Amino acid sequence: MIAFSVIIPVYNRSGLLGEALDSVLSQTFPPHEIILADDGSDDDSAERAKVILSAGAGDISWKVLELPHSGMAGAVRNRGGEASEGNWVAFLDSDDLWEPEKLSRQRDFIMGNPDLRLIHTREKWLRGDRVISQKKQKHKREGDVFADALVKCMIGPSTAVLRRDLWEECGGFREDMEIAEDYELWLRITAGEPVGYLDVPLITKRAGEWEQLSLKYDQIEKFRLQGLGDLVESGWFRRKGLPESRNVLACREFSRKCHIYALGCEKRGRPEEARIWHRKGDLYGQA
C-alpha cells in the first residue's frame, strides 16, 4: 500500500496557504496525512491551516507543527518529515499548487516502477498571470541525472515524492543553508540513485509580490557553491559504493562554478576574493 505524507513548510503565507491546502485536499488519490510545518509565522498561517484542515480533511490525518522561526526551509521540511508516518514523503511549498491527479499519477508510476525511490514531475511556472516558457530546459530528467543535477537544481521540491527508506538514508535537507538546500540534497541522492519522471505539469510554481527566499539575494550561485563545495572538499563523492567518475564530475563542475563566481567578483571590484575562487577552481579542475 502506498501512503503519502504531505509536508508543507510555511512562513507568513496566510493569504496563499488556503489554495495550497485545497490543492492537496482535492487530490483524486488522497494522502495518508498532511503535516503543515509553520516556521514561527508572524501572521495567522498556523491558525488558518487548522481551520481549513478541521473543516476539509475528512478521513485524512493532519497536524500543524508550530516551530520557532529559523528561516531555514530545509530545517522546517525536516521537522515535518520527522513527524510523518507514511511510506512515501511528498513536499509542497506553500505558494505552489498541485493538480488534482498529482498523487494519483505518481502512485501509478510507483506501482509500475517499484525499484525507483524518487519520482518527480514537470512544473508549470507562473509569474503573475503569465506562463513562463520552459522550452530552453533541455536537461536530462530521468534515470541517471547526476551530471545535470550538478549544474543546477533540476528537481522542484513540490514535484518530488521520496520513499521513506530513501528519505531516512539521505538524512533530509541541510539545515544550515538558507537557499539551495534542495540542490544539495538532490546531489547526494542522484549520485547513487536513478530518478523517475512524469513528463506532465502536475504542479504550478507561482511567483508574485510575496516574499520569496530565492529573491532575497542578487544571485544564488554562491549557495550552490557552498553545497557542492562542501561535498567535494569533504570527499563525500569518494565514499564507498560510488564510482570514481562521480567525484571527477563533481570536481569539474565545482571548478567551473568557482571560475564563474570569480569572474563575477572581478566585475564587482573584489579582486582578492576573485583570486581565491580562481585558485580553488584551478585546484579542482585538475581532477
pLDDT tens, position by position, 98-108: 999 999 999 99
pLDDT band of residue 135 (cuts 50, 70, 90) is low
| 27-56: average pLDDT | 97
Region 171-193: mean pLDDT is 97
Q: How does residue 79 score in pLDDT terms, banded at 50, 70 and 90? A: very high
pLDDT of residue 130: 72
Q: How far apart are CA 206 and CA 219, in angstroms?
A: 19
Q: Inform me whether the pLDDT recorded for 215 exceeds 80.
A: no
Residue 235 pLDDT greater than 60, yes or no: yes
- Band of pLDDT at residue 218, cut at 50, 70 and 90: low
At residue 125, the pLDDT reads 84
CA pair distance 77, 181, nearest whole angstrom: 11
Cα separation, 81 vs 175, in Å, equals 13
As a whole number, mean pLDDT of residues 31-50 equals 97
Percent of the chain scoring above 90 in pLDDT:
86
Query: Checking phi first, is residue 286 left (phi over 0); if not, alpha (psi -120 to 50) or beta?
Result: alpha
Question: Across residues 29-55, what is the average pLDDT?
Answer: 97
Q: Do 37 and 9 touch, CB atoms closer than 8 A?
A: yes
Mean pLDDT, residues 245-272: 96
Q: What pLDDT score does 209 carry?
A: 54
The average pLDDT across 150-157 equals 94
Residue 202's pLDDT band, with cuts at 50, 70 and 90, is: very high
What pLDDT, on a 0 to 100 scale, did the predictor assign at position 186?
Answer: 98
Cα separation, 186 vs 200, in Å, equals: 20
CA distance to 55, 220, 260, 269, 276, per residue, from 266 (Å): 56, 17, 10, 5, 11
Amino acid 136: pLDDT: 65
- pLDDT average, residue stretch 56-65: 97
Residue 214 has pLDDT above 60, yes or no: no
- Alpha carbons 131 and 202: distance in angstroms, whole number: 14
- Say if residue 210's pLDDT is above 50: no
Mean pLDDT of 201-226: 75
Say if residue 53's pLDDT is above 60: yes
Lowest average pLDDT, out of 64-78, 165-179, 212-226, goes to: 212-226
Predicted confidence (pLDDT) at residue 23 exceeds the cutoff of 50 = yes
Is pLDDT at 287 greater than 90 in this prediction? no
